[in-house]
Each structure stands twice: as C-alpha cells, then as structure tokens.
Amino acid sequence: MKRRRVVAGNWKMNLNSLEANDLVQDLLSLKHESARIILGVPFVYIASLARLTNGSNIEMAAQNCHHEQKGAYTGEISVEMLKSIGTDYVILGHSERREYFNEDDTLILQKMQLAHEAGLKVIYCCGEPLSVREAGSQNEFVQNQLAQSLLKLSAEEMKNTIVAYEPIWAIGTGKTATADQAQSMHQHIRQLISAQFGQEIADQSSILYGGSVKPANAEELFSKDDVDGGLVGGASLKAELFGPIIEANL
C-alpha cells in the first residue's frame, strides 16, 4: 500500500477568529481535492472550523491536550472534549511544548495513549537542537526520543500516528534542513519504526518534515523518498504561501 502524503499546518498562537475563517475559506477555494490537509488550529476555533471543513479534504488538529482524562484541572482541555467537537488529530511532542512547558517523552507518551484511546489520531513531533546536529549525534538523539515515546505505542496506535521530524534549529528560523539531511533522518526514523512494528507498518507511516518549509523549498524536500509531506508553521498562515506548498506535495 502506498502511504499517504500529507501537508499539515501548525498555526500556533496566531490569527483572530475572522482571520482564521478567511484563511480556511481561501484554502477550501483552492480545491486541491486530492491533497490531504490537516490544520493545527487553536482550541477555540476547532468546533467552528470543523463545521466549515466538514466533507472537505481538510482535517482538524488540536495543538495539545491534557494528560489526564478529566477532572479538576482548571483551564485544561481533555481528549474527549476534542473528540466531541470534531477534532481528528492532536499534535504532540512539539519542541515548543517540550521547551516552554517542560514536556518530556514520558508525558508525551501518556498524552499519545490517551488521545488514541479517545479515538484521536496523533501527529508526533521529534527533532534535535542545533548543538546535537553540530556534534553529529542527531540520529542517536532522535532514536532516544522515539524509544521513550513513539516506539512504546501499540501497533494499532502507531498506524494512527503521523511522525513529524522537526529539527529545532530549523523551526521559525528560516534555516531549512537540506533535502538530503531530511531524507537521511526520515529513513532512520522509518527503520526504527520497522524494527519495532514491522516493515508493513513502517512503509505505511507518513513521516513529515517540519522547519521553515516554504514554497521555495517544499518541492525539493517532498521529492525525497521518505519525506511524505510537511508540517508547516509560519507559511501555513497565508493561503498564498500554504497553497503552493500543498501543490508541491501532490
């Protein structure tokens, strides 16, 4: 089976409600029906945008969820709440969550399992900081991240997980990994998935590249065998930038 190509956007903490609606209307009018598009939008827009995109090829992702099922956690959002308003995916393990909210792989694993239990799919992010890349130990670093989280999932959970490799030094910096650097890490990640879950699941797992993906570099990155699309931050906030990235992945 050919694995599916995906372009996912990560809006982070950007756009007001009107801007969010306009952007999604613009994306719907592009009519890239064959593309698989996932938008990681702020919690507060998910319900209305899920209605707006219902029946289209755009799916909704949350950017986080709480690690407990429910209870006295003022201000938090549970997986069941997300599921009940039409959320398809949750992005977990993003480097900004790891860095600013001290999320470690144990917590990320807990969230992943809870999300899967609730019937949500997961976009799992991994990737090394600049110092690790400069020392040449990025493969070991990512392997260690995966060993503590992704590779502890069940086979069924893995089938419902998209992996995003996002080198931290490339996120929001304008500095992109070269297509060869991306390919090499994606191949490494696929081998690790294969060793744990078998070749069939590894072959079907979508592995996205993230970190300063732009219209100018998308095509080259996406042309690599093990790069199945992208997770796009800044350039997902404008239809005139995100549209060409979606096209580059068709």
Q: How far is the CB of 224 from ligand PGA (least distance, A)?
A: 17
Burial 197-219 (b: 16+ CB within 10 A, else e): beeebbeebbbbbbbbbbbebbe
CB of 234 to ligand PGA, least distance (A): 4
Q: Cα angle vertex 145, ends 69, 41, to 5°?
A: 50
Looking at beta carbons only, is 28 or 241 nearer to ligand PGA?
241
Query: Toward ligand PGA, which CB reaches closer, 81 or 115?
Result: 115
Strand runs (DSSP E) across 66-131, as ranges?
89-92, 121-126
42 vs 233 by CB, closer to ligand PGA: 233
Catalytic residue among 94, 116, 186, 188: 94
CA distances to 53, 60, 207 from 163, in Å: 23, 16, 5
Residues at the contact surface with ligand PGA, assessed by CB under 6 A:
10, 166, 171-172, 210-213, 231-235
Is the CA virtual torsion 28, 32, 37, 40 positive or negative? negative
CB of 43 to ligand PGA, least distance (A): 17
Smaller CB distance to ligand PGA: residue 197 or 242? Answer: 242
**Is 94 a residue of the active site?**
yes
Q: How far is the CB of 171 from ligand PGA (least distance, A)?
A: 4
Catalytic site residue 103?
no
Name the active-site residue from 66, 103, 166, 186.
Answer: 166
Q: Which residues contact 72 (CB under 8 A, 6 or more apart)?
A: none
Q: Give me the residue whose beta carbon is nearest to ligand PGA.
A: 233
142, 127 contact by CB (below 8 A): yes
Residues serving a catalytic function are 94, 166
